Structure 1
Amino acid sequence: MIEQLTQLETDSDGGELFELRLFVTGASINSTRAIENLKHICETYIPGKYSLEIIDVYQQRTLAESEQIIALPLLIKKMPLPQRRLIGDMSDTVKVLKGLGISH
């Protein structure tokens, strides 16, 4: 399963567009929770300014290996730089926002 959620709009206010990849393990409770939490955070704090790719490591092993995944769920912020990695179910909104470089 690779799910691509693109919510990018023309960014007229000069803000940065976020390219995010969330690696999960199938439909586990932690994976489902991470997806729901991250979608909520993105829609609340950066609506229209993100691309979220959800990748199931069971179905995309080579992609997971190329990213050197060591723990799951794992969120990788590809853009804007610097690249960041966050591990967990994304339930700590403040920690996720800080990891993404978003002030709230």
Structure 2
Amino acid sequence: MSNKNLIDSTAAFEGAQKDSKNENYILRLYVVGTSPQSVRAINNIKSICEEHLRGRYELEVIDLYQQPQLTQGEQIIASPTLIKKLPLPLRRIIGDMSNEERVLVGLDLLPKRK
């Protein structure tokens, strides 16, 4: 591998990283009513998004009591569930979003620990 190819691939990688930092996120949070866990999940994800994605996210909160038909279309088996629609790949995070590191890994904002 020539030095020029190494430099070109490094530049491409760095460019892709910069692009991902400017991507808009489309998120859907599925909750059940106003249970303490649902309220906690809403507050936690809003806080995480404002801190890490300010101005680059769209968050839709869906109450499955009001729209139960959506459990099948999105294959929701637990609540609360956060689905990252965009950027791809699609990701699902289940729980009250209190583990910020886990949420950031799920949103592809932090690398997964090995």
- The interval holding the TM-score normalised by the smaller chain is 0.7 to 0.9
Structure 2 gap segments, 5+ residues each: 1-17
Q: Deviations over 1:46-104 (max 9, x none)?
A: 10000000000011011222111101100000000000000000000000000000139
1:62 aligned onto 2:94: no
Greater Rg, structure 1 or structure 2? 2
User: Given the alignment of the two structures, is residue 21 of structure 1 paired with residue 28 of structure 2, yes or no?
Assistant: yes
| Structure-2-length-normalised TM-score | 0.77
Coordinate RMSD, CA, aligned? 1.3
**Sequence identity, in percent?**
54
- Give the aligned partner of residue 51 of structure 2: 44
Distance 2:67 2:79 in 1: 14
TM-score by length of 1: 0.85
Greater fraction of residues in helix: 2
Aligned residue-pair number? 92
Q: Which has the higher contact order (CA 8 A, sep 6+)?
A: 1
Q: For 1:64 and 1:23, how far apart are their aligned partners in 2?
A: 9
Superposition misfits of 4+ residues, deviation over 3 angstroms: none
Question: Which residue matches 2:89?
Answer: 82
**Rounded Cα–Cα distance in structure 1 between residues aligned with 2:109 and 2:78:** 23
Structure 1: segments with no counterpart, 5+ residues:
1-12
Q: Larger strand proportion, structure 1 or 2?
A: 1
Corresponding residue number in structure 1 for 2:14: none
